[in-house]
Amino acid sequence: MPVTEHQGSSSSPSTFSFGRSLLSLRRDHVAMPSGEEADLEAFQRHFAASLGELLPGEVEGGGGGGGGGGGGEEILSVAWIRRLLEAFILCQEEFRVFVAQARRRGALPAAGEKLVVEFHERAVKALDVCNAARDGVDQVRRWERLADIAASVLLAPGEIHEGQLRRARKALSDLSVLLVDDTAASGSGGVASFLASHRNRSFGRARASPSRASFAGATSATSSSHFRSLSWSVSRAWSASRQLQAIGAGLAAPRAHEAGLAAPVYAMGCVLHLVAWALVAAVPCPDRSTALQAHHLPAAPARAAFPWAPPLLTLQERLAEEGKRKDRRNSCGLLKEIHVLEKSTQKLTDAIDAAPIPLFGDREADVREAAAELAAVCAAMRDGLEPLERQVREVFHRIVRSRVEGLDSSMHNAD
Amino acid sequence: MAEDGEEKLLATVQHIVKTLGRTDTMTEDILKVFSNYDGRLSLDKLYATRAAAAAAAVAAAGGAGAGEHSVPASPPMPPPPAVPPAVAAMPAVTSLERTVRTLDRQISQFVTMDRLIWADSADADAFLEAVDDLIGTVQELDAAGTNRGLLDRADELLSRCMARLEDEFRALIERPDDVAPPAPGGFASDESEEEDYDADDGYGDEPIPIAKPVSDFDVVIDALPPGSVSDVHQIARRMVDAGFGRECAEAYAAARRGFIDESVARLGIHARTIDEVHSLPWEELEFDIARWIPAFKMVFRILIPSERRLCDRVFDGLAPYGDLAFVAAVRTQVLQLISFGDAVSAASRAPERLFRVIDMYEAVRDLLPDLDPVFADPYSAALRAEVSAVCNTLGSSIKGIFMELENLIRRDPARVSVPGGGIHPITRYVMNYLRAACGSRQTLEEVMEGDLGAVGGAAIAVDPDRPTSSLAVHIAWIMDVLHKNLETKSKIYRDPPLASIFLMNNGKYIIHKVNDSELGVLLGDEWMKQMMSRVRRWSLEYQRGAWAKVMSVLQTGGPGIGSLPAKALLQKLRMFNGYLEEICAIQSEWVIADEQLREDVRAAITDSVKSAYMGLISRLKSSPEAAQDLFIKHSPEDVEARIQHLFEGVSKIEVSGGKMLLGETVWSSQI
């Protein structure tokens, strides 16, 4: 065989084992009393625990940050989103095991298989959200790169001089163009529009240089601005809000008498929707702002109906609240770090605007302080965004894999 | 680019034009895309080629010009930039002040210039020289640290230079043809700058030159003319020297991205969401795949390596900014192309998709080794990983589709029987499918590898006498599943001999298809022996089942002692006649599709029936009581003739194949 070198990794049994390894894994570590009810109970318990760990501790209405309960991360921070994705992966694994167990016992009638298929169809709809979120994260990294130029220029040792201010202004101006572009794509106004109007006033370096003007005609068809964004690998007509609706469509709590898979499938549908919604809310993506309307949330389960209902509902409420907060409503993303980036950028812009040249005393201290703040958030983003992007991919691949390996159908236990 | 490189490029472009261009306008588009890689080289050459080919017709079309300029005219190259002059050795502040003041004057002239500085190479050189002086001055002032006011001024001046350099940089990358004046009378002068992409540029209706197809993608396209590359590199060096490397990388990516996006779009690839792919009818998706594969190769074999090369040259010696810039420029399109692979993998496991997915997998797999030099740096490692990941996903998808075939066979219901016990559509479908799959044996074996026993491991013990490759095991398993399904289907015949005929027919067809292809190698001799003995067994079962009555009626208890009375013999004859009529009536509708098998079965029946019948007749003739008014309806030859007419329902059966569950696919029409 001519090309085999990469095959070693591609066909390793773990990536394509048809649930076999899962089964044995499960058999090894839980001496199951067996029986559907025990399984169901265990599933729901684990599910509830996973969600519970995501709950922020004492939730305070308005102000400051660190309300970390379970893991200590603030809701919608990069770290929190990563834990949310982890929790989803965990739940999905539990679900796979549950289904595999039921099949092994022969306790999965046609109706049950249909439910499994239904969940996988729903999960496939989340793939586009994963792609959009990955692009969104990359977009945020681009913002970070520009913001970091501005911040690090101003934090260079020695006094701040006009050249540095000019350079910082230019970076901030380019950043504002990106933000405007992305906010326009997300369909909201806010900080970016503030920056946009600002740009004309204070960043208005003579951009009407003929070099640009002479090309404007040629390039305007495809690009309207210097740093045009257009880095979505999903098509621009794609709408996060429509996608979320599709994911949540028909998600209804099973009636009491519906046994078997109905409850786990419903639970998975709920958490899938929650994760997709959180991703869309957190990072820029097309038509994001419409998606944030809370009424797109699917019908919520009754609090007492499932052990995992209370944590899920609390999470939904918290996310919805975040979306409605005045200072966040028009943001490019609810991700905490984005918020801080926007705030710090604005603060730095103001500080620069207010600073007379040459800079003295308090003014210079203001600029430096704002720059330091911005530098800090940039550093946090650099550390956090890459792993976040990887994890979004992981969720994506897991969903694809479960489709590819046919875990949505009962074919492997026939005969 | 070397001359033979150019030839290759031209041939490749023309090949691509030929293979991808489905319509005239699309072809024209692609041509234009490639022409835009290098305005003076490719397009010029392309049209020169055409001009040469159609020399007579050229005169009117202004092709004369093209002919003249088939040798690419070098743009007026700026002389190599002066080495930054060593800053005057005297540290006297006043002298530095003078320097800064002079530089300020010079530079202010340039940065306020309302045309591109690089439009005039002398200006460009002078500006670069001034920038070099300024960078040196700033460094010196910084080192001295004594004249803060002057340093601020110089720094401020530097930032203005950098902003202007960034603009020039972008302009040079985005529109190199505007910057470098076109060769006199050359091609570029025919076109106004803005109308580059307009369809109506006078070339739309001319024939497209077609060269011999080349399968060789070992071609690099120079995205910028060499002169521009060196200009751009000069700017990048100044920006990095002045500490503006990150800005430079961002500007580079922003400048290239549009071109890359457009190139991919013009290959007929537009972003499809996974949802769309999921809900697309297979015929449309198949079309998309057919477009995706060559586009994927084009992008990863030509476009991206070319981008890499350009980037490496622009940022030569300026690591890591080149790597940053490269990834930022190509990332989106790489991911978008990959995403389609993921989408197809996740879409459906319908068996007919196997072959297109194999095509996709092979395109990606064959590419992987060549990606290493392109995605070698740590920044693009993630992209490389994405390409491997999609390769794995497609591989898994192939396995999944194979599993699904098995699943479909197993679940194919035994609702309608094939009339006459003929070949069931599922048998045809599966065998032709597997035969076609054998054409991709290598790939299938590759993706199956390491997955031994994943399919109902307990049920199928690996037979040591059977070829034991993963694919062979899978196929043998599928054959077993098919066999079981056929046995189930045979049970719906109310006539057990007809069930045997059905199994025999399908078994014989399977044997035929296996022998006729590489399946034979995979399944092995042992399997074949087993299959043949099955067919023999079914044949015997048929004979016993269908003719047992007849044979027992023909028993006369052996020759010699006249044990049976004539009356009984006559009774036997009547019964035989009745049975024969009955069997012939029923079984003339039955079918044995394979000619040889039909002959064999007939011969076997004839053998036993005819001789027994002749025995009966001779007994009757020798019986004095019966002989007088003996009426023999069928001569032994008649009987033989009747038997020879059995199983001929062929044409009738072929048409009414019953309800095809699997057969109604693209496949049945392709094989």
CB contact set of B535 (below 8 Å; sequence gap of 6+): B504, B507, B508, B511, B597
pLDDT at B453: 36
Residue B648 maps to a domain: no
Beta bridge partners, B591, equal: B648
pLDDT reading at B455 higher than 70: no
For residue A390, the tally of other CB atoms under 10 A from its CB is 15
pLDDT at A408: 60
Residue B442 maps to a domain: no
Give the pLDDT mean for B135-156.
Answer: 87
For residue B83, the tally of other CB atoms under 10 A from its CB is 8
Which of chain A's residues have a Cβ under 8 Å away from the Cβ of B112?
206
Q: Cα separation of A370 and A352, whole Å? A: 9
Across the interface, whether the CB atoms of A145 and B193 are under 8 A apart is answered: no
ipTM of model: 0.79
What single-letter DSSP state applies at residue B591?
Answer: B
Counted across chains A and B, CB pairs separated by less than 8 A come out at 230
Residues B344 and B245 in one domain: yes
Residue B657 maps to a domain: no
For B13-22, write each residue's pLDDT tens digit.
555 545 444 4
Residue B576 maps to a domain: yes
Which of chain A's residues have a Cβ under 8 Å away from the Cβ of B270?
235
Residues B381 and B288 in one domain: yes
Residue that is written with structure tokens 């977009």 in the block: A139
Q: Is B244 on the interface with A (CB under 8 A)?
A: yes
Closest CA to B573 of B608, B615, B544: B615
Across the interface, whether the CB atoms of B275 and A125 are under 8 A apart is answered: yes
- How close, in Å, is residue A316 to chain B by CA atoms? 25
Residues B230 and B167 in one domain: no
Highest mean pLDDT among B217-221, B300-304, B565-569, B662-666: B300-304
CA B59, distance to chain mean position in Å, is 43
Contact B302, B220 (CB under 8 A): yes
pLDDT reading at B426 higher than 90: yes
Beta bridge partners, B648, equal: B591
In chain B the first and final C-alpha atoms are separated, in Å, by 47
Residue B543 maps to a domain: no
Residues B368 and B233 in one domain: yes
Closest CA to B598 of B504, B483, B491, B496: B504
Residue B439 maps to a domain: no
Q: Cα separation of B18 and B8, whole Å? A: 15
Nearest CA in chain B to A9: B392
User: Whole domain around residue A307: which residue ranges?
Assistant: 1-415
Confidence of residue B8 (pLDDT cuts 50, 70, 90): low
- What phi, psi does B261 have (nearest 5°)? -55, -45
Secondary structure element (H or E) that encloses residue B167, with its range: helix B148-174
Which of chain B's residues have a Cβ under 8 Å away from the Cβ of A166?
156, 159-160, 163
Residues B238 and B378 in one domain: yes
pLDDT reading at B126 higher than 50: yes
Across the interface, whether the CB atoms of B258 and A214 are under 8 A apart is answered: no
- How close, in Å, is residue B45 to chain A by CA atoms? 24
pLDDT reading at B450 higher than 50: no
For B158-206, write each residue's pLDDT tens digit.
999 999 999 999 999 988 776 655 444 333 333 333 333 333 334 444 4
Q: Using a pLDDT cut of 70, give the percent of chain B over it.
A: 71
Contact B422, B593 (CB under 8 A): yes
Which among B349, B389, B449 has CB closest to A397?
Answer: B389
Nearest CA in chain A to B333: A233
Residues B33 and B100 in one domain: no
What single-letter DSSP state applies at residue B609?
Answer: I
Bigger pLDDT: B103 vs B649: B103
pLDDT at A295: 59
What single-letter DSSP state applies at residue B606?
Answer: I
Amino acid in the structure at residue B281: P
Bigger pLDDT: B506 vs A73: B506
CA A240, distance to chain mean position in Å, is 12
Least confident of A269-283, B70-84, B486-500, B594-608: B70-84
Least confident of A316-320, B52-56, B78-82, B282-286: B78-82
CB contact set of B499 (below 8 Å; sequence gap of 6+): B421, B490, B491, B493
Closest CA to B138 of A160, A167, A360, A163: A163
pLDDT at B118: 92
pLDDT at B578: 87
Across the interface, whether the CB atoms of A124 and B278 are under 8 A apart is answered: yes
Which of chain B's residues have a Cβ under 8 Å away from the Cβ of A162?
152-153, 155-156, 159
> How large is the greatest C-alpha to C-alpha distance in chain A, in angstroms?
84
Residue B545 maps to a domain: no
- What phi, psi does B377 have (nearest 5°)? -80, 160
Tally the domains of chain A: 1
For B362-419, write each residue's pLDDT tens digit.
999 999 998 989 999 999 999 999 999 999 999 999 988 988 898 889 888 888 888 8
User: Whole domain around residue B565: which residue ranges?
Assistant: 555-643
Residues B384 and B241 in one domain: yes
pLDDT at B189: 33
For B16-42, write each residue's pLDDT tens digit.
545 444 444 443 444 455 444 433 334
Closest CA to B479 of B426, B415, B539: B426
Residues B31 and B109 in one domain: no
Query: Helices (H), strands (E): how many in chain A?
Result: 14, 0
pLDDT at B558: 57
For B270-327, write each residue's pLDDT tens digit.
778 888 898 899 999 999 999 999 999 999 998 999 999 999 999 999 989 999 999 9
Residues B257 and B327 in one domain: yes
Residue B299 maps to a domain: yes
pLDDT reading at B554 higher than 60: yes
Tell which B residues from 251 to 290 touch A, by Cβ distance under 8 Å: 254, 257-258, 261-262, 270-275, 278
Residues B294 and B377 in one domain: yes
pLDDT at A24: 43
pLDDT reading at B511 higher than 90: yes
CB contact set of B406 (below 8 Å; sequence gap of 6+): A411, B455, B477, B478, B481
Q: Cα separation of A152 and A164, whole Å? A: 10
Q: Is B15 on the interface with A (CB under 8 A)?
A: no
pLDDT at B269: 82
Tally the domains of chain B: 4
- How close, in Å, is residue B451 to chain A by CA atoms? 6
Helix, strand and coil percent figures for chain A, each rounded to 5: 65, 0, 35
Bigger pLDDT: B268 vs B110: B110
pLDDT at A252: 83
Query: Which of B326, B356, B389 is the last residue before a domain boundary?
Result: B389
Q: Is A194 on the interface with B (CB under 8 A)?
A: no
What single-letter DSSP state applies at residue A250?
Answer: T
Which of chain A's residues have a Cβ under 8 Å away from the Cβ of B261?
222, 230
Give alpha helix (H) positions in A105-239: 110-154, 162-186, 191-202, 210-219
Closest CA to A382 of A142, A136, A75: A142
Nearest CA in chain A to B177: A215
User: Judging by beta carbons within 10 Å of its beta carbon (0-12, 13-18, 19+), is residue B230 exposed, middle or buried?
Assistant: middle
pLDDT at B256: 92
Q: Cα separation of A350 and B462, whole Å? A: 75
Give me the DSSP letters along B188-224: GGGS-GGGTT-S-SS-TTSPPP-------------SS
Q: Cα separation of B304 and B315, whole Å? A: 16
Given a cut of 50, the residues of chain A with pLDDT beneath it are: 1-33, 58-70, 189-230, 412-415
Contact B223, B263 (CB under 8 A): no
Residues B245 and B381 in one domain: yes
Give me the DSSP letters along B261-322: HHHHHHTT-----HHHHHHS-HHHHHHHHHHHHHHHHHIIIIIHHHHHHHHHHHTTT-TTHH
